[in-house]
Every structure is written in structure tokens, then in C-alpha cells.
Structure 1
């Protein structure tokens, strides 16, 4: 039987492309990794072309193209067209569901894909079948079709983000490959856009980007001082507790004058604490209500809100939840995979073929560069004299970490999603808290309250994590044990929680570093943070790795088999 190959494309916020064949991801790339523009928005031309190179598939082998969203999602940090400004002002009066469905269907008729068609013609795929996958269906498809449960099991699928195609959250029953939506909240009733992101803006940080800073700040404050004020902004709909309801009579930037009046005199840390506490309260109640309604206790999640790892921790602690799966590339960056998987399923259903389903394994979907390419880049940057090649680069890195050095690592295929999982990472000895100041001074420039994260050998996770379970993607948080001092620089300094990567056998080269480090120190984990300059995306290419090395205070870069030292 001929394979079915689908190209998935997100041409909006956090754009990128993915290539899947028979339900398995062969390559997936975020445009920002190639352009060095964080949250790159627009046509992911480089990514589209690169996924074919990575997968070693000719574009003519493509059977279909899946485009994310009926209407392109604008970058909230870069694009703010007049129609969005007008709609923001009118939204308190015209946000009912029938109107949302109407305007989404009308605007879809005017969706401009001419720039994409130009690329398709260049690749010879302009006549391939095109599917437009509704925004939250793409999120739901990510969660369901990569979950550890087969199509023969009933799964509760829940999505939550800022908004896309007029929708901000959904509750779905997924079974036998079908995803049936049973509840949804409008853009106006968004737990993200109409609450968490606007509190982020109120605190002087960037909405749709710095929410993680509010989550990191929350443990320093006392939620009880102003949580009752948070309850005046948004709630679960009393008439349908599977939906959220904005009770503030405003949306996006227009919320700010009312927030200033509501929160006047409240401390910034208490505001962050109350925001996080109320978010967790709402989110877990939402999940509990969905389980009660459906009777399904296995839950899969996706959407940008799922980056709130503290809420994910609370979900895993719920008695009602039998098991939970959080798609790691849960934001819009992951939607090309979801769209492609959904189109693949729809083709199989139409053509009478049994669809394949592949549970998520590693996320190393990106480009890989050999030593020849890497050395050419080193020469072009004028760094050849500083480069030494080693047969055992992993052992060299472990030795440097043991000596207290900080090492940037560029090796193998780069990761899909927002987290560095060892191949585009900055590594350090997590037992020395002084490394935090060194890291921030050298490259990261993080706010003083923000934690780093550890990579922990999976066979030793119970030594460091309470209620440990495999957490291979940095999408879960845990309380830590009394042995936390061995990884003290890689946990939250206030509440001692950790957002770990537990490392199994998927990445043998990275694992070798940790095993060598373990043999030198007896410690089963190290600090792992993303390899990028502050305000830039994780590096994707040798050229960007070298540029970042040159423009930072990093002393060591292990790139392929080469070690560079300043």
C-alpha cells in the first residue's frame, strides 16, 4: 500500500512546518530556529523546504497539504491590524457564539494563501490537495494522535490558549480516531487572553511571551491578599461549567484601565501569586467538570496555556484523573504536526484505509549537521584556531562540568517545541548555586526570580522528585526531595519545585555526558537551559550557534565533535 505523506504548515504566530508519513512525524521545524527571530510570524518558507531535506523526501511525494487555522493567527507582538483593533473594542457586545461562527466562516473565504502558493509552485506541489484545519482541532489532534493511548480507547481531549478561529478552549471526546467537540469558549472568554496575559501586561511584562515569568514570580507572593479580586475577572460559566466566562466587560488592552482600578495598592508578587492560584483553581475545576460530564479519566491536553507547568502538576495530583498527557509543543508552534495528522486521518477515513497512530517518543525532529559542515562554519567565522576535535566530546563536556565550567552544546537534530532537550542546550553543574549568577551574567540575563531546569537520569528520578514519573519534555513540574541540594541551581529557589527532563535511552550522546558526570560526582542530574541569547530563539544552525557564542559571555562551545574555548 502506498504511503500517505502530508505537509503541515502554520503561517501565523510561531510559524513552522512538519512532514508526516503514515501518521509518523519525519521532520518538524519552527521557522525561528532558522531565522533567529523569536516567535517568527508569517510564511515559514525555510521550514517548508528544510523538512523535505531532513526527511529525505522529494516534494512530489507529497499527497496533501494541511494548513493550520481557517483564518491566519496574527502575531500579537508584531501585528495589530485595524480590523483586530476594531474587534477588540466591539468584543464585549458581539462575542456570542453564533456571531463568532459567522465571522470565522466569512473571513475564511478571504484567507490569502498566495504567498504559500508561490512556494508550492516552486516545489511542484501546487496541485496537491489542501486541507484547512480549524485552530483548536489542530491542537486537539496534536494531543490525541500522539498520546500513549490507542484509537480503541476513549480519551478526553482538552485545549486552551489565547484564541484561534474565534475559540479559546475546547472539551472533546476522542474515540476510534474521531474527535468530537462537546464544549467550547469564545475568544472573549479566554482564560489566556482575558486573564493571564492581561495580568502579565499589567505587571509590566510582555503578554503572549512572559506569562512564564508570572508563574515563576508567583511562589514569592501571598495569593490570599488579592485572589478575590481575580475572581471578578473571569469564571467558569454557571450555565455550562465546561466553558469559561469573561465577567470583566472588556478584552485585551481595554482591560488595563479596569485592572489598574481593581488592583490598585496590591503588591506585584501578591498579584502574580493570586493570578497563578486562581488560574490553577479554574483549570482544575474545568478538568474535574469535564471528567464528571464524560466519565472519561484519561485526559490529553494541548494549547499554549498548557505551558503552565504548575497547573499541569495540579492536574496530575487530582484523584479524578487516571492519567494525563500534555503535548510538549503545545502552543501554536506545535500545530503543523496536529494539522498534518488530522489531514492524514481524514484522508484515510475517506479512502477506506486504516490510519496508523504513533505515540510520542523523542522530539528531535529538526536538522542535523555533520562535522564537515560544522568545521566549514567554524572556518567562515574565523574560529578555526580555537577549535579542537575530540573523539570523545561527551567525556570532555562531562569533565568541564565537573570542574564547574558552563558549556554550550550543539549536537544532533534540534528539538521540536519550546524546550531545549540536550541538543541545543547550555549545561552546568547544578550542585553549585553560584552557577546561576554566572549563567545570567554570561548569556541568559534572566529576572532574578526565574528558575533554571534540570536534566535527570530517568533511573534516578525518584531520588530527586516526589511522585516521580517519566517527564521527558520539560512540560511537567514536581516537588523535590531532601536530595534537592545536588541539583539546587536547577530548581525554583523559593518553592523548590523542578521542571525536569528525565533522560532515558533516546539520546545516547547526551546520556553519555550525564553518565560520565555521574561517575565523576555521584550526582544524577545537571542544569540544562536553552542555547540562545536573551530575546532570541534557541539556535538551529551552526552559524547561529557560533554567532551566539561570539556575542555572549560563554567560555566553551561543544559543537559536533569540536570544542571551542575563548
Structure 2
């Protein structure tokens, strides 16, 4: 039996295919359209999922959408009625779109599905699941646990913004909810907006900026914005926010409380923004910790599963793991709305159809390598058509040449196997570098990624070596847990360096692997497993044999504002439009100096800023 899951029409549209309960394919629409966070109907992602399952729509039994549009429309109406006439402007702007498209989403979905191959003979059903149930299903059903507590936290679904669920076998019950307008995700997004970053895109920048600041505003947030209870439940004082009635996140009362207007995007960052980021990060961690403790008491479970956009806050996840509230936690790698496609399909398979779960040795996400792959002949054909000059190397020679380039402190584009599902590059569509280099972090940010200099990079490390470098000794294959670099790997700071504040701390080397050590000695760790990504594991092994270090800088293969690359053509364009020096696709090895000069381009101006 085949079930197609779809998330669409808000942000991060995606499709996923499950076959007899097994996830066989999943991808975000943005990777095909090259429009970051593409909210449109995921026609390209669906075409890919059908191809991966070797079928067309005629062989699909059920299509499941990740939320219920009528409930969302009910929220829009009730929110306006509760605040009228204050919210008339935003209500007036939203209503035509709802009446034209979203209110009749079932009809729209059927129209779009009708354009797909085999749809004329499709006799399956179109189902809808609630948004947070889709999140919860994406967290629990692929997890390695027979039973677990399940927390979902995001901006808002239909009404729900936070839920506590209990998964046992093939059942998943939602026990508690927090409802709109009280939302941890929207609170964090309000600070994203206030510090000058883009909502639903820049939240990870706030998280990355937080270690440069001091949590000076925590008391002000807790005293005014959020009434936080011991069990983690909370209410937001709507006087300080504008997302219910206006077109921005924060209100004049918010600006008056914190003594300034929102920072203008792209304007210089000040210590104030760093302190604001540190403060909302600290509050978020406290809320998550209280919710987790309550989940443990309420369910009695030893394991926790997480999903929803807030679950991408890997700093909070890392602290939750260290506190040992639960014995272990598992986080859906596509924790945001894209993962709702997987969750919707699994909710139908286990909930609607009552099928049992297959036992999972690790988890059922296959390392999140669920996207398209290209065989060697196809790669060579595509590169030739693009005008690329390449050398085809054997497996051992390819690894050796890549290690040589990394040791020479070159930035290496690395495209291998199936594309990752979710927002993190996991060694299939990555830009790699030598973590021992004190200049690599700044070089990659400014010359390759074209993004803010403060942004940290993640380390990839062989699973068997992680405890030798970081203070965690657990699986972290999806780069969703933050750990600290071990004391013995750190470098001692001089008294003068210890007195630095804010962005001045950026260029102080902190460890043997300074390119992946954040200013607070933390690192967003990815453990690499031989069974899920053997070629990347082999590269790390060879790099360790050459240098003694089993760690590489791993950042997503894209520039700022662009989705992660999908095809060989995407990778070659990014290579030619940036200062990446080497490109490895399959067994093809490309050097920048060998490429035709006329193919170079100013790639950084091609995409809308994130």
C-alpha cells in the first residue's frame, strides 16, 4: 500500500511517500524550484516521490494533507471577531486569498493532483490530519522507541501551538494542548523580527547570535510578555504583539518596553541585539525544560520525541539531553512544516488504517537521505552539458584527493548519494572544510556562503569518535543536538581575550577545532554512521588518518538565500558563483582553476536574502 503525504500553502512545502509503512522518499519543493521556503503545491516533490516508488498516481492508495483548512479558517474568523475592529486591515488582506483558495483547499488539492501522471485512473482517498498530530506522528512513529512522550512546539497549526502526546506501539494520543495566540514559536519569531531578521527563516540566526550576548532581558520578558507556569504552560500578553491584528510581529508597547524600534534588516548588529537574542534563547530553554519535566511526570515515559519548528532549536535540545529529564530524546530531522508530509502519511498508516509499527533498529528515517540521487553516468552527462571540466577518479583516489584539498584549507563542495530531507546538510549536499583552520569559519561565511560573519558552523564527526572531542556520547545524526568541546581540546584565553564582549569575541581561537567551536565552546554536532553514509564516513576516516582529527566543517551546499542544491547542475552553478575551490560529485573531481572563465558568475546576487 502506498500513501502520499503533502504539506503545502504556508511555508516549506514538501511531499513524502510511504510504502507498506516504510518511508521510501521525501523532499521539499524548494529544492526543485530553487525558491527558498517555497509554499506552493509540491508538484515537483510529488513527481520525485512517485518516481522513487516506481509508480504513478493510479497506484497511490491515499493522499494525506498535513492540516485541516476549515479549522484554520475558523481561527482567522474568531481571532478577528475577538479583536475587531483593530485587526480589520490584516483580515481584509487575508480574506480574498482564503475565499479564493484556502477555504476550498480540498477542491484545489484535487485540481493539482489531477495534473499528475496517472491521476485519471486514481481512485484513492484524500484525507486530512490535524497539523500538530502530523508533527507528533512524524516524531514518534519513525523513532526507535516502542513508547514515548511526544512534544510538539511551533508557531501555530490550526489552533494548537504546543502539544503533549503519548505514543505506544501504533497508537498516538494527544493529551494536552496550548492554543493560539499563546505560542512559544511566535514568541521566538517576535524576537527574530525585533532583532532585524526574517520570520520563519532567521530564527536560527537568533540562536547563533545568542552566545555573543548576555541574558539581560530575561526578567523583563518573564514579568511582562509571558506568564510561565511550573508545568511549562504559558500565556502571552497580547498587548506586546501584533501578529493577531496587524502585519508585524511586535507592537508599539513591545518597542516601548525594550526602549527602541525594531532593528532594520541588514543594518549593523549591536550588543543590544546580542543581549536580546541571549535573553529569548534563555527563556525558550526554560519553557522547553518545564514542558519536558511535565511530560515525564504525566506519561511516566523514559523517552521523548520532539517535532515542530521549535524542535530545530538544537541548543535547547542539547540542554534538555544534558539535564537527563529523559533517558534519551529523538527529534524528527525535518521538524518544521516539511516534516508534516511524513507525519501525515504515517498518521494515516498507523492511525486511520491501524497498521502495526515495524521495529526500528535506530530510526526509520534512513539517515534522512530520502531525496534524489544521480548515478555516475548521469552526473557526467549533466556536467558535460554544463561545460564543466572534471576528472573521474576511483573511490580511493577520490577520497585521497578530497582529503588533500581539505588539508590545504580549500573549501570543498560535496554532493553524494540521496539528498537530505530537512533543513540540515548531513554530508550528502555539503560544503566541507578543515576545522583546525583558525580562518575557515570567517572564510566560509564571507567568501562562500555570503552571510553574516557571526554564524557558526557544525562539525561532522565519526560516531565512534564523538566522545573524544565533545561532551556528548550519543547518536546525533541529524545535527539537532548541541554539545560542548571537551576541556582538553580547548585553548586557554589570555586575560585580554577574556575581557572581550560581543562580536569582538568572534576571531579568538577557542579549541583545536576553532572553525566549529562557537564562542561559548559549543558545537552543533553531527555524528556520521558507516551504515547510513559510508562514503562520508570513509572521508572522515581518511582525514583522521592524515591529520589525527576525525572532524570536518559541514555546512549546507548553498549560498545565503538559496535552497540547498539538489542536482549536479545546481552544485556546479553554486561552485562557479562562489569561492568554493573544489567540487566532488559522485566520482567526478573538479578544480576551480580548470573551469572555463566564461562560466563564472556573480551568484550571490541571484537569491533573495534570508
TM-based fold match above 0.5: yes
1:242 deviates by 5.2
Judged with a 3 Å threshold, the aligned counterparts in structure 2 of structure 1 residues 373 and 446 are, in CA distance, closer, same or farther, namely same
Equivalent residue number for residue 528 of structure 1: 554
Judged with a 3 Å threshold, the aligned counterparts in structure 2 of structure 1 residues 109 and 297 are, in CA distance, closer, same or farther, namely same
Equivalent residue number for residue 19 of structure 1: 17
In structure 1, how many angstroms separate the alpha carbons of the residues matched to 2:114 and 2:2? 15
Per-residue Cα deviation, 1:84-130 (whole angstroms, up to 9, x for no partner): 99877666689xxxxxxxx9xx9986334425434345333442112
Q: 2:576 matched to 1:550?
A: yes
Equivalent residue number for residue 48 of structure 2: 50
Equivalent residue number for residue 356 of structure 1: 358
Equivalent residue number for residue 258 of structure 1: 253
Q: Map 1:194-209 to 2 at 5 A.
A: 195-209=187-201
Judged with a 3 Å threshold, the aligned counterparts in structure 2 of structure 1 residues 222 and 559 are, in CA distance, closer, same or farther, namely same
1:551 deviates by 1.5
Q: 2:206 matched to 1:180?
A: no
> For the Cα contact (< 8 Å) 2:58–2:123, is it kept in 1?
no
Report the 3-state secondary structure (helix = DSSP H, G, I; strand = E; otherwise coil) of the residue aligned with 2:514: helix
Equivalent residue number for residue 130 of structure 2: 134
When structure 1 is superposed on structure 2, of 356-365 and 278-287 the one drifting more is: 356-365
> For the Cα contact (< 8 Å) 1:89–1:254, is it kept in 2?
no
Q: 2:330 matched to 1:325?
A: yes
When structure 1 is superposed on structure 2, of 469-478 and 245-254 the one drifting more is: 245-254
> For the Cα contact (< 8 Å) 1:188–1:251, is it kept in 2?
no
> For the Cα contact (< 8 Å) 2:446–2:453, is it kept in 1?
no
In structure 2, how many angstroms separate the alpha carbons of the residues matched to 1:565 and 1:333? 35
> For the Cα contact (< 8 Å) 1:33–1:540, is it kept in 2?
yes
Judged with a 3 Å threshold, the aligned counterparts in structure 2 of structure 1 residues 43 and 116 are, in CA distance, closer, same or farther, namely farther
In structure 1, how many angstroms separate the alpha carbons of the residues matched to 2:353 and 2:78? 39
Q: 2:151 aligns with which of 154, 158, 163?
A: 158
Equivalent residue number for residue 10 of structure 1: 7
Judged with a 3 Å threshold, the aligned counterparts in structure 2 of structure 1 residues 86 and 354 are, in CA distance, closer, same or farther, namely closer
In structure 2, how many angstroms separate the alpha carbons of the residues matched to 1:41 and 1:88? 23
Per-residue Cα deviation, 1:250-295 (whole angstroms, up to 9, x for no partner): 4422623122111116922211111111111111112112222332
Equivalent residue number for residue 26 of structure 2: 28
Q: 2:184 matched to 1:191?
A: yes
1:247 deviates by 2.0
> For the Cα contact (< 8 Å) 1:141–1:339, is it kept in 2?
yes
Per-residue Cα deviation, 1:348-407 (whole angstroms, up to 9, x for no partner): 32xxx5443543341110101112222222222222xx2111113222111211222111
Equivalent residue number for residue 523 of structure 2: 498
Q: 2:345 matched to 1:340?
A: yes
* TM-score, length of structure 1 as denominator length: 0.89
Report the 3-state secondary structure (helix = DSSP H, G, I; strand = E; otherwise coil) of the residue aligned with 1:267: helix
Structure 2 residue ranges without an equivalent (≥5): 86-94, 261-270, 491-510, 593-610
When structure 1 is superposed on structure 2, of 368-377 and 534-543 the one drifting more is: 368-377
> For the Cα contact (< 8 Å) 2:70–2:103, is it kept in 1?
no
Q: Map 1:83-98 to 2 at 5 A.
A: none
Report the 3-state secondary structure (helix = DSSP H, G, I; strand = E; otherwise coil) of the residue aligned with 1:122: coil
Structure 1 residue ranges without an equivalent (≥5): 75-80, 95-102
Report the 3-state secondary structure (helix = DSSP H, G, I; strand = E; otherwise coil) of the residue aligned with 1:272: helix
Q: Pairwise CA RMSD of aligned residues?
A: 2.6
Equivalent residue number for residue 38 of structure 1: 36
Q: 1:448 aligns with which of 431, 448, 453?
A: 453
In structure 2, how many angstroms separate the alpha carbons of the residues matched to 1:323 and 1:470? 10
When structure 1 is superposed on structure 2, of 212-221 and 438-447 the one drifting more is: 438-447
Number of equivalenced pairs:
534
